[in-house]
Homo-oligomer: A and B are copies of this chain.
Amino acid sequence: MTEAATARDTHVFDAALALTDHGAGRYTGHTHPAYANMVGPFGGTTAATLLRAVERHPERLGDPLSLTVNFAGPIADGPFDVAATVTRGNRSTQHWALTQTQGESVTTTATAVFGLPRPGWTSTELPLPDVPRPEDLSPAVMPVPWAQNYDLRYVTGALPDADSGERADSTSTLWVGHVPARPLDFTALAAMCDVFYPRIFLRRGAFVPAGTVSLTIYFHAPADVLAEHGDDAVLATARAAHFGNGYFDQTARLWGRGGELLATGHQLVYFKG
């Protein structure tokens, strides 16, 4: 067992995802101060926690193929409940519905598709961009608690400052790794799909209230590719297509250093201004 593999048992990310299993798809968890965002928890942790609930369910078949998380209401610091139900399954795929609640309030809903890998024709159409290696870039300083658990090395589109001004392109491209190191798995990959600060900050060169409304992730790499990836950095890029009526979308792509497309993520984000 490598040092990185040992790290998973005690890593703060896994502490944030810790769930107590009450049987019949019912779990309790607790927000973790290390993954706090400006308001409430980092959405990536919420997505990963819901994925973890399915992974721990005794009826779970195979690995995640897709996950949609709807951030329905604020999550207060403190305990929460998760309910995970199989809505439909066959021998190769399984559909899940998930609800996260605090008291009587639904904070988050999600659906997930899991399935057995079916080896076959493979092609990655979108190649790893031509970017500097993470070793040749400096870690960014990000002034929110959750970002302290990541090593974020921007190729382009770092967090704007007072002098940034408006930009015509919302692209951010960066290398992402865990601090401390932790091997990549489906939950870590899900959280990394939400590692981008809101694209509106970059376009406007200013901070405005913003938060993800709905997040969808497609998992392209099977478990053996993730295991081989280990704790190496992930190249992550995100861009918006449209801003308007107080919402914008974002499309994200995450690759391994060898060019394997690990996941694609899409989200709709609320913003003021």
Is the beta-carbon distance between B66 and A120 smaller than 8 angstroms? no
A68 at the interface (CB under 8 A from B): yes
Q: Give A67's nearest chain B residue, CB to CB.
A: B214
Stoichiometry (number of copies)? 2
* Most B CB within 10 A of own CB, among A87, A106, A117: A87
Q: Measured between C-beta atoms, what is the minimum distance from A85 to chain B in Å? A: 10
Is the beta-carbon distance between A242 and B213 smaller than 8 angstroms? no
A251 at the interface (CB under 8 A from B): yes
Is the beta-carbon distance between B244 and A220 smaller than 8 angstroms? yes
Is the beta-carbon distance between B68 and A88 smaller than 8 angstroms? no
Contact flags (1/0) for A113-133 with B, using CB distance below 8 Å?
A: 101011111111110000000
- Say which residue of B70, B118, B200, B240 sits within 8 Å of A111 (CB atoms): B70
Would you list which residues of chain A between 254 and 273 have a CB under 8 Å from chain B? 261, 264, 266, 268, 270-273
In the complex, A220 Cα to B87 Cα: how many Å?
Answer: 30
Report chain B residues within 8 Å CB of A266.
Answer: 216, 218, 251, 264, 266
Is the beta-carbon distance between B65 and A213 smaller than 8 angstroms? yes
Report chain B residues within 8 Å CB of A126.
Answer: 241-242
Would you list which residues of chain A between 209 and 242 have a CB under 8 Å from chain B? 213-214, 216, 218, 220, 222, 239-242
Q: Measured between C-beta atoms, what is the minimum distance from A214 to chain B in Å? A: 5
- Say which residue of B123, B249, B253, B261 sits within 8 Å of A264 (CB atoms): B249
A148 at the interface (CB under 8 A from B): no
Is the beta-carbon distance between A125 and B244 smaller than 8 angstroms? no
Is the beta-carbon distance between B249 and A218 smaller than 8 angstroms? yes
A residues with CB within 8 A of B:
65-66, 68, 70, 72-73, 87-88, 90, 93, 95, 97, 99, 105-107, 109-111, 113, 115, 117-126, 168-170, 200, 203-204, 213-214, 216, 218, 220, 222, 239-247, 249, 251, 253, 261, 264, 266, 268, 270-273
